[in-house]
Amino acid sequence: MQNLQGKIAGYDFYSALEKLTDNSGLKKFKDCYKAFMHMVREWQFLKMVKRAGRSHSRTGIKGTGPGELAIICPACPHPNINLPEGWENVSPDERFIYFLFLAIDTCFRLKRCLISSEKKDPGLGTGLGSFIEDKKYRKYLLTVTDQREISSCTSLSALDHTNTKFSTGYATTGTGVCCCARHELIERGGVGDLQKGERYANMDYVFSSVLRHHHVKLHKVVSYNIACQWSKNLLEHLKSLPSHIRPDNIGSYNTVIPKLHVFSHNPPCPTDFSLNYLPGAGRTDGEGIERVHAMTGPVCASTKQMGPGYRHDALDAQWLFWNWQKVVGMGLAFYKKLVKALLKAKLTREEFERFSEQQPERIHEWEEMVVAWEGDHTQPNPYTIPKSGVTEADVKLLLAQNEAQLASQGVPTVHETVNASAFIVAGLGLQEHQRKAAHHVKSTNIWTPTQKTELLELRTRLHHELARF
């Protein structure tokens, strides 16, 4: 429990026990560290089996299927478990209730050094929880050649590193992780080891592995920080996966970029892949997966030094403990969020209605634009800010060019140190300050000494500038 909750490495815990017995360094202890670690590993595995309810199954632990040790999210839609009959036939404006939100991302901190081997250290339950079945996955990766992906969105460093991310000395350079985006539970079979940067081959495999555990008719909203590139050839890429994992049909889906990440993308990504503009996305932000990475952060150092099997068992224990904690905490967490959401929804609606009342002549046209764009992204995007004509910098450049031309023709300047364009810019600046002063007077109701001082200072500055002008 210290390891799962506090991320204390087994070695540190064991050493602390020794030191509690004798901290003088005089006493020699019998070395039970190895035996202790075997016990920890076994205990953690049995806990996972217990939480997954394997003892209620006739086939027991041996009959555990792929991913079955990962506790599924009770808040996500699961037909035949928590959905009403006929859920797939609801009206379009209620369909969002049955959206499945998934988040995919890579964690490059979860590396593993080139030590031990699959033969020397097989996992107790690799493939039964968060990790995908290892043997078939590794066999598939042998068939994948280096993928050179050209990113059309220049800010994406992950892709640029696809083939260059240093891998010397490492058997694994990171992990590709998939969780449910709204509740942050690790998906069944939702983790795969990476060998070189963020290759699509790995991520597509992880994605397909997760889809196997969900109903094809559920509409999927998939959040990924490189969704703009990944989604381009997704269906093509999925077709090239081996038959045991390849989905026949992935059904309807949207790809989006997490809300914080989307602003580092070039236009039109911030609008086309925005969760804010996707009907039915609610306030999902897609960033929850970063919290999952933050949770495993402290165990990176210890799992890096483990053999392949033990690392899988140890990380599975962390993720599935995380899932368990999420489920246990859902009641209170959802209650608090619901109370907050109801209040905020009411306020937002009132503001929206007030705003709409003030724009009766425009509302109709705007609504039509929004609906058209939501149905077809090739229609004009109502959320993109149009480019507004000429900028001040453009004008400055034009004036400077004119002056340079006159100078080259030998035309003398009117003033020795200030040229015509600088004079105009100074005049415009002066006008702006005048307006600021006027606004200050107009918007101030109570004149405290501070307010009076501010105005006096503003006026004095104006007088100086006017004199200079």
- The three-class DSSP label of residue 124 is coil
Tell me how far, at minimum, the Cβ of 191 lies from Zn ion, in Å: 16
Q: Which residue type occupies 376?
A: D
Pick one of 228, 306, 314, 315: the residue that binds Zn ion (CB under 5 A): 228
Which has the closest alpha carbon to 419: 432, 431, 430, 405? 405
Check residue 214 for interaction with Zn ion (CB under 5 A).
Answer: no
For Zn ion, the closer of residues 104 and 124 by Cβ is: 104
Q: Report how far residue 387's alpha carbon sits from residue 381's, in angstroms, rounded to the nearest whole number.
A: 13
Tell me how far, at minimum, the Cβ of 328 lies from Zn ion, in Å: 14
For Zn ion, the closer of residues 265 and 311 by Cβ is: 265
- Binding range to Zn ion, per CB under 5 A, among 228-236, 278-286, 315-323, 325-333: 228-236
Q: Name the burial class of residue 330, with classes exposed (0-12), middle (13-18) and buried (19+) by CB atoms within 10 angstroms of its CB.
A: middle
Q: Report how far residue 106's alpha carbon sits from residue 92's, in angstroms, rounded to the nearest whole number.
A: 34
Whether residue 268 has a cis bond before it, omega within 30° of 0: yes
Query: Binding-site residue total for Zn ion (CB under 5 A)?
Result: 9
- Binding range to Zn ion, per CB under 5 A, among 133-141, 257-265, 388-396, 400-408: 257-265
- Binding range to Zn ion, per CB under 5 A, among 19-27, 54-62, 224-232, 335-343: 224-232
For Zn ion, the closer of residues 43 and 263 by Cβ is: 263
- Binding range to Zn ion, per CB under 5 A, among 41-49, 176-184, 243-251, 397-405: 176-184
Tell me how far, at minimum, the Cβ of 370 lies from Zn ion, in Å: 22
The dihedral of CA 225, 227, 230, 235: what is its sign? positive
Q: Report how far residue 315's alpha carbon sits from residue 295's, in angstroms, rounded to the nearest whole number.
A: 11
Tell me how far, at minimum, the Cβ of 257 lies from Zn ion, in Å: 7
Q: Report how far residue 312's alpha carbon sits from residue 120's, in angstroms, rounded to the nearest whole number.
A: 14
Site string for Zn ion, 134-163 (x = CB under 5 A): -------------------x----------
For Zn ion, the closer of residues 173 and 284 by Cβ is: 284
Q: Report how far residue 276's alpha carbon sits from residue 280's, in angstroms, rounded to the nearest whole number.
A: 9
Tell me how far, at minimum, the Cβ of 229 lies from Zn ion, in Å: 7
Check residue 269 for interaction with Zn ion (CB under 5 A).
Answer: yes
- The three-class DSSP label of residue 172 is strand
For Zn ion, the closer of residues 154 and 445 by Cβ is: 154
For Zn ion, the closer of residues 197 and 307 by Cβ is: 197
Q: Report how far residue 112's alpha carbon sits from residue 336's, in angstroms, rounded to the nearest whole number.
A: 39
For Zn ion, the closer of residues 256 and 269 by Cβ is: 269
DSSP element (H, E) containing 348:
helix 308-357
Tell me how far, at minimum, the Cβ of 240 lies from Zn ion, in Å: 23
For Zn ion, the closer of residues 170 and 324 by Cβ is: 324
The dihedral of CA 387, 389, 393, 398: what is its sign? positive
For Zn ion, the closer of residues 75 and 400 by Cβ is: 75
Tell me how far, at minimum, the Cβ of 153 lies from Zn ion, in Å: 3
Structure tokens, 99:
């959206």
Which has the closest alpha carbon to 17: 1, 4, 35, 33? 33
Tell me how far, at minimum, the Cβ of 59 lies from Zn ion, in Å: 27
Check residue 73 for interaction with Zn ion (CB under 5 A).
Answer: yes
- Binding range to Zn ion, per CB under 5 A, among 77-85, 138-146, 223-231, 374-382: 223-231
Name every residue whose Cβ is closer than 8 Å to that of residue 325 and which is 6 or more positions away in sequence. Answer: none
Within 10 A of 75 (CB to CB), how many other CB atoms are there?
Answer: 16
Structure tokens, 302:
């210890």
Structure tokens, 350:
């009132």
Beta pairing, strands 100-107 & 220-224: parallel
Check residue 76 for interaction with Zn ion (CB under 5 A).
Answer: yes
Site string for Zn ion, 387-406 (x = CB under 5 A): --------------------
Beta pairing, strands 186-194 & 174-180: antiparallel
Tell me how far, at minimum, the Cβ of 183 lies from Zn ion, in Å: 3
- Binding range to Zn ion, per CB under 5 A, among 222-230, 307-315, 348-356, 420-428: 222-230
Q: Report how far residue 428's alpha carbon sits from residue 300's, in angstroms, rounded to the nearest whole number.
A: 58
CA 121 to chain centroid:
33
Site string for Zn ion, 177-206 (x = CB under 5 A): ---x--x-----------------------
Q: Report how far residue 413's alpha carbon sits from residue 392's, in angstroms, rounded to the nearest whole number.
A: 23
Tell me how far, at minimum, the Cβ of 264 lies from Zn ion, in Å: 8
Check residue 210 for interaction with Zn ion (CB under 5 A).
Answer: no
Q: Report how far residue 218's alpha carbon sits from residue 447's, in angstroms, rounded to the nearest whole number.
A: 61
Tell me how far, at minimum, the Cβ of 66 lies from Zn ion, in Å: 19
For Zn ion, the closer of residues 52 and 269 by Cβ is: 269
Contact criterion met (CB below 8 Å) for 268 and 384: yes
For Zn ion, the closer of residues 194 and 210 by Cβ is: 210
Pick one of 54, 259, 261, 265: the residue that binds Zn ion (CB under 5 A): 265
Binding site for Zn ion (CB under 5 A): 73, 75-76, 153, 180, 183, 228, 265, 269
